[in-house]
Structure 1
Amino acid sequence: MWAKFKRSVFINLAPRIIYFFIWIIFLTCKKSFSKTNLTNEPCVVLFWHGRLALMSFAYVHWWENGQNPQRRAKVIISDHKDGEIIARVISFFGIGAIRGSSSKGAVKALAQSFRELKGGTDVIITPDGPRGPYHSVADGAVVIAQKQNAQIQILNYEASKFWQLKSWDKMIIPKPFSEISYTLSPPFSVTDMALEDARELITKEMKK
């Protein structure tokens, strides 16, 4: 019982602390955003797991404050404990979650992703998450884009000064008062491509 209580406290408290921490960092930094817009049709948006820390602010810029403020996106997040914390943090930004990963709940996540795209909601994926390998592209990202004939756009940010965690994803956390540059790539398609060719193209685009 005590272990469950501690876990409950952690799950409820950690997201609020993280949310406060990333806002403090974001507010002190100088930000820039690329001029690229989201494609008109529902799309699949990808970014590396190591850029997760401050990526919610990209959602605020391109979705909530973008050309169509009514447009929404949902992020595929694992069903593990870490995923629960991430889901709660992004919920503070108004971002929905699709729960599941390649190792747990994959079929459920794929099915919901198809429904969301058909309903006009963009689907955001970290193709190397939740556990790597580092900067790899899982099949799920390709399958979702191809089955729904959806275009792909790449999100990224770089920081002039940052901490880099010793985690599998080499996550970077911008330091206060640094410069953060957010980019959104032009849309591209992997429809009708062989799976391996599509993965190679996505990897190439994400590493630009």
Structure 2
Amino acid sequence: MPLRKIFKMSHETQTKIYSKLIVLYFNFKKYFFYSRSTNIPQKQHILAMWHAHQCGIYGIEGKKNMNVMISRSKDGDIIASAAKSLGINTVRGSQSRGGAVAALEMIEALKAGQNGAITIDGPRGPKRIVKKGIVEIAKISGVPIVPMTWYSPSWGFFKLKTWDEFRFPLNCIKMVILYGEPIYVKPDATEDEIEVHRKAIEDELNALYSRVKKDFKHLWKTGQKLKDRT
């Protein structure tokens, strides 16, 4: 009998195994993971980040009050299961599958006083092109958008051969997380104004990444240490 048949597992079984491995990894990893944050938002917000940078969620404060939008793909099932075990709330959906339902769930969570996080070029790209969904959610909820990015000069990252060039930490790393200024969207914003906000998020994320990469040493010395290790 071919080995692929012997080791063939259902998607449900794969999800359980892979998600538990991720949880085990991050529970161990927290003892070798060091982050500093600059300009941490003090009020309710929706984090906007690139799909390739979603590992940065692990290094933020207040994860238990965070709702992360994750796609309904098979890979999304694994990530969502692991996130739940790590104490991070999730809403499931993307532009192509269940997006409307996920947007409504996110808006409900925001109106209940919680925070949100969205990978604004996911789930399939194009890379580093912001989709307008996050602006629509901010418009309806009244919660501002805060661009967020991170950078680490550490060599211990595994870059996946995916559309977003996703980077996964493998060893002891130092990471600086940089937040932008909040972007408010008026409840009566027009389509033209929504496009202006969409482009502003895109430009701000690119500017933040350039800054954190250039000024890493200074930001590491002056940034706030992560207190919430859970």
Fold conserved (TM > 0.5)?
A: yes
Matching of residues 89-128 of structure 1 within 5 Å: 89-128=82-121
Question: 1:1-208 counterparts in 2 under 5 A?
Answer: 5-29=9-33, 31-40=34-43, 42-52=44-54, 54-59=55-60, 62-63=61-62, 72-160=65-153, 161=155, 162-191=157-186, 192=189, 194-208=193-207
Distance 1:157 1:111, change over 3 A: same
Preserved contact between residue 26 and residue 176 of structure 1 (Cα < 8 Å)? no
CA distance in 2, matches of 1:179, 1:39: 23
Match of 1:67 in 2: none
Query: Unaligned regions of 5+ residues in structure 1, if any?
Result: 65-70
d(CA) in 2 for partners of 1:76 and 1:186? 21
Q: Aligned letter for 2:31?
A: L
| Superposed displacement of residue 37, structure 1 | 2.7
Contact (CA 8 Å) 2:47, 2:117: kept in 1 or not?
yes
User: Following the alignment from structure 1 to structure 2, what is the Cα–Cα distance between the partners of residues 21 and 134?
Assistant: 27
Once residues 81 and 28 of structure 1 are traced to their aligned partners in structure 2, the CA distance between those partners, rounded to angstroms, is 29
Which blocks of at least 5 consecutive residues in structure 2 are unaligned?
1-5, 208-230
Counterpart Cα distance in 2 of 1:184 and 1:89: 25
Instruction: Provide the secondary structure at the position in 1 that maps to 2:58.
Output: helix
Tell me the distance in 2 between the aligned counterparts of 1:201 and 1:190.
12
Q: How many residues align?
A: 196
From the superposition, tell whether residues 139 and 4 of structure 1 become closer, same or farther in structure 2 (CA, over 3 Å): farther
Q: Note the aligned Cα RMSD (angstroms).
A: 2.2
Which is further off, 158-167 or 17-26? Answer: 17-26
CA deviations 1:48-82 (Å, max 9, x no partner) are 11012x323234xx215xxxxxx712111111211
Deviation, structure 1 residue 23: 4.3
CA 1:184–1:97: 2 relative to 1, 3 Å:
same
Q: Check whether the contact 1:159–1:174 (CA below 8 A) recurs between aligned residues.
A: no
Tell whether the 8 Å contact from 1:25 to 1:174 is kept in structure 2 after alignment.
Answer: no
SS in 1 for 2:10: helix
Against the structure 1 CA distance between its residues 149 and 175, is the aligned structure 2 distance closer, same or farther, given a 3 Å change threshold? same
Secondary structure of residue in 1 paired with 2:116? strand
